[in-house]
């Protein structure tokens, strides 16, 4: 009896759920299951620019299981999703096939960093969306990396540690921008959610940008003392 009641309640609560696959109990899964959208404010911002001429391409750097791309990607001519976690990529492929079957998309199964190398990705057990790489390019210290996921201090036991492929952001973005420009796709949106790599990636994006490419960048930030010029090539 209680099983049927729980089933009925869940069915009602998830009636408007995004038609995608999720990891049950994970932090990033709750909103799209209960409310039918993921980060509604960011979704609205991305789609605003897509509806106002920046619809040639969407670059999703830190795509995870594809929630941002899968709910907004149909607004764009071409979608590129970057995700180094092989476990997330497996779900990303399924979700993209569901939501973007009529859209041109590419899944890049690696992260963006300084060089081509293998690094360790720390994945919080209850928050796949909070995975991070610890390196000199990561702006977050151990305290911030731990606190953003609800931990009092850094402890490797709170994470699934996965070896992932990282590729040179400068080379990848330069080649991608040149390819987009050569196909007349010059205006788009770039979403960066890389858990501490945002400053490095945004500045690399700006450095790699050819003059004919225009874009809007939307990025996550957990630091309180960030000046915007730091993300515009400044120091």
CB within 8 Å of 60: residues ≥ 6 apart = 66, 68, 69, 73, 79, 80, 81, 82, 191
User: With pLDDT > 70 as the criterion, what percentage of the chain qualifies?
Assistant: 97
pLDDT for residue 235: 45
Who wins on pLDDT, 58 or 222? 58
**Two structure tokens written together for 126:** 């209850």
User: With pLDDT > 90 as the criterion, what percentage of the chain qualifies?
Assistant: 82
Average pLDDT for residues 191-195, to the nearest whole number? 96
Alpha helix (H) ranges present in the chain? Answer: 2-13, 27-34, 40-50, 67-72, 86-99, 142-147, 169-182, 198-208
Q: In angstroms, rounded to a whole number, what is the distance separating the alpha carbons of residues 29 and 37?
A: 10
Confidence of residue 232 (pLDDT cuts 50, 70, 90): low
pLDDT for residue 14: 87
Name the pTM for this structure.
0.93
Backbone angles phi, psi at 7, to 5 degrees: -60, -45
Q: Are 189 and 58 in contact (CB under 8 A)?
A: yes
Average pLDDT for residues 183-212, to the nearest whole number? 96
């Amino acid at each position: 009896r209680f099983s049927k009641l729980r089933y009925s309640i869940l069915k009602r609560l998830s009636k408007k759920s995004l038609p995608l696959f999720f990891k049950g109990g994970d932090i990033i899964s709750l909103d799209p299951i209960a409310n039918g959208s993921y980060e509604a404010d960011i979704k609205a911002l991305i789609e605003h620019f897509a509806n106002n001429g920046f619809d040639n391409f969407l670059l999703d750097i830190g795509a995870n299981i594809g929630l941002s791309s899968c709910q907004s990607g149909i607004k764009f001519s071409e979608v590129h999703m970057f995700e180094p976690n092989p476990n997330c990529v497996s779900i990303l492929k399924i979700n993209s096939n569901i939501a973007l079957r009529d859209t041109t998309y590419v899944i890049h199964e690696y992260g963006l960093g300084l060089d081509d190398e293998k690094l360790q990705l720390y994945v919080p057990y209850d928050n796949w969306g909070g995975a991070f790489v610890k390196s000199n390019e990561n702006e977050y210290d151990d305290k911030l990396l731990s606190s953003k996921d609800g931990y009092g201090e850094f402890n490797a036991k709170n994470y699934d540690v996965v070896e992932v492929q990282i590729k040179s952001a400068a080379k990848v973005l330069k080649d991608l921008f040149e390819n987009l420009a050569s196909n007349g796709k010059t205006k788009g949106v770039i979403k960066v959610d890389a858990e501490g790599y945002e400053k490095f990636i945004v500045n690399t994006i700006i450095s790699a940008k050819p003059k004919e490419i225009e874009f809007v960048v939307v990025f996550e930030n957990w630091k309180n003392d960030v000046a915007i010029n730091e993300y515009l090539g400044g120091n």
